[in-house]
Amino acid sequence: MSTLTIYHNPRCSKSRQTLQLLTDANADVEIVEYLKTPPTAEKITNILALLNIAPRALMRTKEAEYKEQNLSNEELTDTQLIAAMIATPKLIERPIVVTKNQACIGRPPENALALL
């Protein structure tokens, strides 16, 4: 089984549940607390490609920072949205589980089991 990377926020119940499911399945999990160590633009771009979604679909649009930074502006480029996620990692949906060639968002947490 390949190593899974979970972009994890320990304060988030869905993130904790997803990590617990993976741990219970004896998965080899690398934990990245993305609020402390935000992913690079390259990593976010790779995650978006694996998920086959646009940057805005990876963002927590109900966060105050989303509104404050006017990120709903349709004129913003993908590069600008990715830069906003790096500058304000709280905007990144969680948890994200990634393998070498697959990814999922752990909402619901059971989504991550498909990567095992």
pTM of the model: 0.94
Q: What's phi and psi for 87, nearest 5 deg?
A: -70, -30
Assess whether pLDDT exceeds 60 at residue 101. yes
Summarised one tens digit per residue, pLDDT across range 8-36 is 999 999 999 999 999 999 999 999 999 99
Instruction: Compute CA 87 distance to the chain's CA centroid, rounded to the nearest angstrom.
Output: 14
Q: How many domains does the chain have?
A: 1
> What is the rounded CA–CA span in Å between residue 59 and residue 24?
28
Whether 12 is a known active-site residue: answer yes
Catalytic residue among 9, 12, 24, 97: 12
Average pLDDT over residues 35-52: 97
Whole domain around residue 19: which residue ranges? 4-115
Q: HEC profile for 20-73? A: HHHHHCCCCEEEEECCCCCCCHHHHHHHHHHHCCCHHHHECCCCHHHHHCCCCC
Summarised one tens digit per residue, pLDDT across range 49-85 is 999 999 999 999 999 999 999 999 999 999 999 999 9
CATH number of the domain at 46, please.
Answer: 3.40.30.10
